[in-house]
Homo-oligomer: A and B are copies of this chain.
Amino acid sequence: MPEKDVEATLPKHQRIRQEMAAQIRSLEPHSLLPTERELAKSQGVSRATIRLALDALREAGLVYRVQGAGTFVAGPTISKTLALSSFSEDMEIRGMVPSSRLLSADETPAGPELAEQLGIETDDLVIRLTRVRLADDEPICLETAHLPSARVPGLLDRDLGGSLYEVMQGIYHLKVVRAEQVVRAMVLDVGDASLLGTPPGAPALRMHRIGLDDRDRPVESTTSIYRADRYDLRLAVRRAE
């Protein structure tokens, strides 16, 4: 029962954050929350701990604070703060069933560009996976991932039909916690269009991602091509400062 253990060892501010998040969903936008001092008292913790929880809720776009006035429930948010997510998670959030069709899986020397992106040598090996990603059995995305072979030994022998992130984390203890993404619009050529089941010349979103682990080391360089008619990118952005 890891479930209970995890909950038991959760820091207080995270537990409080989760409880409050659940409650907030049932409140009207712009309703006033209890004051930080009241929450501290009722939860039996210090105000600093409550502030940690509220900070996270504000970061997630669930509440906003007005100095001198109080803390309020935010308006509805269609999108999280563009949390980094895998294709599988992304589709599950949208209520669809993700699947995958493997087109190719091999190992080659990185070459100059990938070596630079992944922080390895030009002739170090990388594993290259090309997959069609489907949601509810409809092709949505064409994805080519490159991983440094040294970080994922034996990956090619594993089941590659599901979430790559889950395999990376579960088997290799590789957690992608940060990524740099570049998004462009493009039109599909004949080859890509046929793989995605669209007419050639249809628009698509081309996303390139370099994923970094918890020590800021690059662990993936992935290019994804999404059908524009089945996919959009939703993001909540906040002013810096």
Contacts and interface: CB of A to CB of B under 8 A. Distances in A.
B184 A214 contact: no
B185 A203 contact: yes
A6 interface: no
A237 B183 contact: no
Nearest to A238: B178
Nearest to A203: B185
Contacts of A105: none
A183 B72 contact: no
Interface in A180-217: 180-187, 201-206, 212, 214-216
B184 A228 contact: yes
A186 B215 contact: no
Interface residues of A, number: 54
Could you say how many copies of this chain the assembly holds? 2
A55 B175 CA distance: 20
A83 B110 CA distance: 32
A25 interface: no
Interface of A: 29-30, 48, 60-61, 64, 66, 72, 74-75, 77-84, 119, 175-187, 201-206, 212, 214-216, 218, 226, 228, 232-240
11 contacts: A30-B216, A64-B216, A66-B215, A72-B215, A79-B181, A181-B235, A182-B234, A183-B233, A183-B235, A184-B205, A187-B187
